[in-house]
Structure 1
């Protein structure tokens, strides 16, 4: 029996100062079937090695994009990664034929500065997190990933307690270790 390999693409511009993302990484760093790939550490000048990135995608069964919400979207380097790595012929075709990513699972692990109630029709953001992340979902689905959803932790700018961060990291670790599906 083979174990599914998981690639976690971390797109946090200042991971050392991120309590939630650091806790998540610490929770899963010793899992044998997981590769943690920090984009900002590897490409501080945004000079992405496309061949390397595509090979990493080929070698893994599940891809998790882990990033803080940045102006209701992904961080700049994650966007740049989408633009250069998920290119025609590798990640998508125009005739619907299979991409090299077809059937690989993909999900998002997002940290959000404000509270969950901000992301409601009555909240300041006026939309759900899923609505803001719809272009990311569409990109992944267009590239024939099997999109699994979002695992989000809210309130990062509200100074969450260590207990809250530990609970989130443990749930994240459980999802990664079990190749589970996030529920929101």
Structure 2
């Protein structure tokens, strides 16, 4: 039986100040077959090593993008990573042939400043989080990833309790360790 290799691509510009993301990472750091790749640590100058990134993607079966939602979007370095790494001939083809990413599982692990109620059609954001994540999910699907959904923790601007952060991190660990599909 082949062991699933998971790549967690972390894109948080202030990871040391992020209680939720740091707690999640601390919870998975000892998992076998999991590689944590911090884009802001690897590329403080924003000069992305595309060959290295392609190799990392080739070597792993499941890709998790872990990031905070900033103004209904991804952090700037993750967007730059998409633009540099997910290119024609590697991540997609127009002739229908399989890409290097074809069939690899992918999901999102996001942290959100506002509450879950904010992300409702009748909430302050006027749309669901799933709607705001649509450009990312479409990108993954276009690149032939097997998109699995997202795991979100809300209310980060409101100083969540340590207990809630630990509960979220334990659920995150379970999802990463078991390669289970997150329930949005």
What's the TM-score bracket when you normalise by the shorter of the two chains?
A: over 0.9
Task: Show the 5 A alignment for 1:3-82.
Answer: 3-82=3-82
Corresponding residue for 1:120? 120
Q: Does 1:93 align with 2:93?
A: yes
**Segments ≥4 residues shifted beyond 6 Å:** none
Any stretches of 5+ residues in structure 2 without a counterpart? none
Query: 1:50 offset after TM fit, Å?
Result: 0.1
Query: 1:91 offset after TM fit, Å?
Result: 0.2
Which string of whole-angstrom CA distances, capped at 9 and with x for unpartnered residues, describes residues 103-154 of structure 1? 0000000000000000001110000000001010000000000000010000
- Rounded to whole Å, the distance in 2 between the matches of 1:128 and 1:174 is 25
Which string of whole-angstrom CA distances, capped at 9 and with x for unpartnered residues, describes residues 16-61 of structure 1? 0000000000000000110000000000111000000000000000
Which string of whole-angstrom CA distances, capped at 9 and with x for unpartnered residues, describes residues 64-122 of structure 1? 00000011011100000000000000000111110000000000000000000000011
TM-score, with length taken from structure 1: 0.99
- Rounded to whole Å, the distance in 2 between the matches of 1:121 and 1:140 is 25
- Rounded to whole Å, the distance in 2 between the matches of 1:71 and 1:110 is 13
SS at match of 2:9: strand
Computed over aligned residues only, the root mean square deviation of the Cα atoms, in angstroms, reads: 0.4
Corresponding residue for 1:171? 171
- In the alignment of these two chains, the number of paired residues is 184
- Rounded to whole Å, the distance in 2 between the matches of 1:20 and 1:3 is 28
Q: Does 1:105 align with 2:97?
A: no
SS at match of 1:26: helix
SS at match of 2:12: coil
SS at match of 1:73: coil
TM-score, with length taken from structure 2: 0.99
Q: Does 1:141 align with 2:145?
A: no
